[in-house]
Amino acid sequence: MSKDNNSPNLDAVLAHLADVVDGRRADLAAGKVDPKSSYIAQLFSKGDDAILKKIGEEATEAVMAAKDSRNSHLASEQQALLVGEMADLWFHCLVALSQFGLRPEDVLAELTRREGVSGIAEKAARAP
């Protein structure tokens, strides 16, 4: 499970999924979608706390899948589980970004800004 030449462009995949999430949020606000028929709309209808709680749950599941993958003789199956859990986490992070009026492009821009900067130096430069 690694990148190959046939892999989709990460920016494009994240942007497309963010468009879907943003569209569902707009449809909910306009009364065009019932939260009972759309998981994304359901998350948005529950508000900030429910969305953020879901990120915590998915992060915990991703951590546990990573630990299981590291210690398992069934490495490929556990890696697939880890990928699935990370996909869940990333998805729910996209929902949170949309909830707060942000996009994955904002995160990618921040990562680009940090490129070549020592993580230790960047953290030390933050205001207390």
What is the structure's pLDDT at 74?
64
Domain limits, the chain: 10-125
Mean pLDDT of 39-67: 97
Q: Which two tokens stand for residue 39?
A: 């998981």
User: At residue 3, does pLDDT exceed 70?
Assistant: no
Q: Which two tokens stand for residue 111?
A: 């990562």
Q: Please write down the long-range contacts of 3-6, taking CB distance under 8 Å and 24 or more positions apart.
A: none
User: At residue 36, does pLDDT exceed 60?
Assistant: yes
Q: What is the pTM for the complete model shown?
A: 0.85
Name the pLDDT band for 1 (thresholds 50, 70, 90). Answer: very low
Q: Measured between alpha carbons, how far is 92 from 7 in angstroms, rounded to an integer?
A: 22
What's the CA angle centered on 105, arms 101 and 84, to 5 degrees? 95
CA distances from 89 to 9, 20, 109, 116 (A): 19, 16, 20, 26
The domain covering 10-125 belongs, at the CATH homologous superfamily level, to: MazG-like (1.10.287.1080)
User: At residue 104, does pLDDT exceed 70?
Assistant: yes
Name the pLDDT band for 76 (thresholds 50, 70, 90). Answer: confident
* Least confident residue range of 6-15, 18-27, 40-49, 99-108: 6-15
User: At residue 63, does pLDDT exceed 90?
Assistant: yes
Mean pLDDT of 41-53: 98
Name the pLDDT band for 128 (thresholds 50, 70, 90). Answer: confident
